[in-house]
């Protein structure tokens, strides 16, 4: 008699029936294994949570008083009839791929991942498996990222030119991952680094974990373009163009996102400058990561799923699509604006 599949795809999320858990579920479940702390993957309302030691502080900060247990990278744990382990995904600090094994059959759920090291996140590690569930947020050949050092050089040039002209430089970046990459990439000798309250609060959690981040100042009441001329201001994308941003006067505004590779997206946002920076794998990274797993079956989710599945089939993979409610790096994603 055949056994039920190791993982199934339900309206609550990716489910492991034999383990009695879901992975990054988007509706309330009894037991949730969480790949990382972004709000589309770590949601409130589950009975119990399991996440890496590195992602737990941010998850607790964002979700409050929850039943959260932790696991170390590479640690194997028996849950029901399966063995699970968490492995670095390189997406944001603490992010993980989740490996599930039963009687020699191995599946890996990638969550979100990035194959290029950023100096803050634990570097991505390929995990051998028979079936791999991969994001494909940027699953088109047009998406190819510059090296981290080159991006840092572009950021520093933009900031220093604005500072020399007496302008503040406001850059929109997601509060977990992208914002910290920016502050760790720039040259703090150019000027002060100010942060929106949402960025500062998340950064404080990561600092407590020992991440090497430069000093920043919360841009609260009394902190503006006059008190700190030529500052770099890091804020959620939703804060751009608001009354909060107006306190910095005639500032230069930019947005850091993988979507900045598409000129139309930057034009729709009314931005003179965009920096192509993403916490997700680009086209080459996706293909390299999938090949490195040795998987024969690949399921793709959130992104250019139809196009990328067809590409994988042309490369000889048994490929499918998993419908999820993950956003990836949504081009118009809004984060709460809390000063």
User: In the chain, what are the domain boundaries?
Assistant: 8-142+280-321, 148-275
Could you tell me the pLDDT band of residue 335, with boundaries at 50, 70 and 90? very low
| Whether residue 339 has pLDDT greater than 70 | no
Q: Is the pLDDT of residue 55 over 50?
A: yes
Q: Which of 47-51, 246-250, 307-311 has the lowest mean pLDDT?
A: 246-250
pLDDT value at residue 93: 97
Is the pLDDT reported for residue 301 higher than 70? yes
Q: What is the pLDDT of residue 4?
A: 82
The angle that helices 197-208 and 178-185 make with each other, rounded to 10 degrees, is 80
Q: How far is CA 104 from CA 100, 107, 128, 166, 170, in A?
A: 10, 10, 12, 62, 51
| Candidates 3.40.50.10890, 2.10.10.90, 3.40.50.720, 3.90.79.10; CATH matching 148-275 | 3.40.50.10890
Average pLDDT of span 125-144: 97
What is the share, in percent, of the chain residues with pLDDT greater than 70? 96
Task: Check pLDDT > 90 for residue 331.
Answer: no
Instruction: Please list, in sequence order, all residues whose beta carbon lies within 8 angstroms of the beta carbon of residue 105, skipping any fewer than 6 positions away.
Output: 6, 130
Q: What average pLDDT does this structure show over 22-42?
A: 97
Q: Is the pLDDT of residue 45 over 60?
A: yes
Q: Is the pLDDT of residue 152 over 50?
A: yes
The CATH number of 8-142+280-321 is: 3.60.15.10
Evaluated on CA atoms 118, 96, 279, 293, the torsion sign reads positive
Q: What is the pLDDT of residue 236?
A: 95
For residue range 237-285, list pLDDT tens digits in order.
999 989 999 999 989 999 999 999 997 776 776 677 899 999 999 999 9
Q: Which residues contact 299 (CB under 8 A, 6 or more apart)?
A: 131, 132, 133, 134, 319, 320, 321, 322
pLDDT-above-90 percentage for the chain: 88
Condensed to tens digits (0 to 9), the pLDDT of residues 14-26 reads 999 999 999 999 9
DSSP 125-161: -----SEEEEEETT-STT--PPPHHHHHHHHHHHHHH
- pLDDT on residue 176: 96
Evaluate if residue 200 carries a pLDDT over 90.
yes
Q: If you average pLDDT over residues 298-311, what whole number do you get?
A: 96
pTM of the model: 0.94
Mean pLDDT of 231-242: 94
User: What average pLDDT does this structure show over 156-176?
Assistant: 96
Mean pLDDT of the chain: 93
- CA-nearest of 211, 225, 166, 216 to 196 is 216
């Amino acid at each position: 008699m055949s056994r039920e599949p190791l993982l199934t795809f339900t309206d609550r999320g990716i489910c492991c029936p034999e383990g009695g858990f879901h992975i990054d579920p988007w509706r309330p479940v009894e037991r949730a294994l969480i790949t990382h702390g972004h709000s589309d993957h770590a949601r409130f309302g589950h009975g119990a949570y399991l996440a890496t030691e590195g992602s737990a502080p941010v998850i607790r900060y964002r979700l409050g008083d929850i039943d959260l247990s932790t696991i170390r990278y590479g640690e194997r744990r028996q849950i029901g009839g399966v063995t699970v382990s968490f492995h670095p995904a390189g997406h944001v600090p603490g992010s993980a791929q989740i490996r599930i094994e039963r009687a020699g059959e191995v599946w890996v759920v990638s969550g979100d991942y990035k194959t290029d090291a950023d100096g803050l996140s634990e570097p991505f590690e390929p995990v051998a498996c028979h079936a791999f569930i991969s994001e494909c947020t940027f699953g088109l050949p047009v998406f190819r990222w510059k090296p981290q050092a080159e991006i840092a050089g572009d950021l520093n040039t933009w900031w220093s030119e604005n500072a020399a002209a007496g302008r503040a430089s406001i850059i929109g970046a997601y509060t977990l991952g992208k914002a910290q990459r920016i502050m760790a990439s720039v040259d703090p000798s150019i000027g002060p680094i100010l942060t929106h309250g949402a960025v500062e609060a998340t950064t404080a959690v990561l600092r407590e974990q020992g991440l090497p981040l430069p000093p920043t100042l919360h841009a609260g009441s009394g902190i503006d373009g006059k008190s700190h001329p030529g500052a770099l201001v890091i804020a959620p994308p939703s804060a751009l163009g608001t009354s909060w941003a107006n306190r910095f006067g005639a500032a230069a505004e930019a947005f850091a996102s993988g979507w900045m590779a598409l000129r139309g997206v930057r034009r729709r946002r009314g931005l003179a400058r965009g920096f192509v920076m993403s916490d997700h794998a680009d086209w080459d990274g996706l293909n390299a990561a999938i090949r490195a797993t040795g998987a024969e079956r690949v399921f793709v989710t959130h992104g250019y799923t139809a196009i990328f599945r067809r590409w994988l089939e042309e490369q000889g993979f048994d490929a499918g699509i998993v419908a999820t409610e993950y956003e990836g790096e949504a081009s118009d994603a809004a984060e709460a604006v809390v000063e």
